[in-house]
Structures are given as C-alpha cells and as structure tokens.
C-alpha cells in the first residue's frame, strides 16, 4: 500500500468485501480491483496482500483453488461459509465505525 497507511488496518475487510462481490479472484485481480474502485488511492503491494491471504486461508476464512488458464496455473481465492459470516460481521462493524467517524469529523 503506497498512498495511505489508514487502509492498512482495513485491508482484511477490503479483501473479504471484494471476494463477497466477485465470488473468486486471484491476487493480482484483487489489487487491481481495489485500485480501480479507489481511483488509484489504494495500491496494495504483494508484501501486504499475500501474507494476509495465507493467514485468511489458514484460519478457514477463504480457500484457494488452482485453475489452468492458457497453460498457466492461476490460484483463485474464495470465501468459505465461515468467511461469508465473518465478512458480513466485519462489514456491519465497519459501517458503524465509518458512521461514528463521520459524526465526529462533521462537528
């Protein structure tokens, strides 16, 4: 992540939200979608993304599957049932957090 360290604490929430909307994504696709949605503000590095993907997989929140695309293996990540529940919970918490920040900063 290049531009804003505030994103660092929400990276897991961002990944889970993207996976909940796109069903399955590979790592580079996750970084590009986040960059696109934030108009270049969020630039995830591989060093930030892949350790978190591995942790989420180890915790049973996501799973991976490898597919052959044009003779190359590509690893896709998908939410598990546990991950879908966690994503929904974290999204509710994030919405509440953002509401409270907006309230504070709009005084």
Is pTM, for the whole model, over 0.85?
yes
* CA angle centred on 14, ends 9 and 16, rounded to 5°: 115
> Taking all residues of the chain, what is their mean pLDDT, rounded to a whole number?
92
**Following DSSP, what letter does each residue of 62-86 receive, concatenated?**
EEEEEEEETTEEEEEEEE-HHHHHH
Contacts with 31 (C-beta within 8 Å, 6 or more apart), sequence order:
43, 44, 46, 49
**For tokens 């108009």, what's the residue?**
39
Whether the per-residue pLDDT at 1 is higher than 70: the answer is no
pLDDT digits (tens, 9 = 90+) for 53-102: 999 999 999 999 999 988 999 999 999 999 999 999 999 999 999 999 99
| pLDDT at residue 4, as a whole number | 65
| pLDDT at residue 69, as a whole number | 85
Q: How far apart are CA 25 and CA 103, in angstroms?
A: 34
């Amino acid at each position: 992540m290049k531009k804003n360290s505030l994103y660092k604490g929400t990276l897991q929430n961002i990944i889970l939200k993207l996976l909940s909307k796109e069903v399955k994504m590979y790592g580079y696709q996750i970084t590009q979608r986040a960059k696109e949605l934030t108009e270049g503000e969020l630039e995830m590095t591989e060093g930030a993304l892949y350790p978190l993907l591995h942790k989420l997989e180890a915790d049973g929140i996501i799973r991976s599957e490898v597919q052959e695309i044009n003779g190359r293996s590509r690893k896709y990540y998908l939410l598990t049932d546990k991950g879908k529940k966690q994503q929904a919970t974290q999204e509710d918490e994030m919405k509440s957090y953002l509401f409270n920040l907006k309230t504070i900063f709009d005084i």
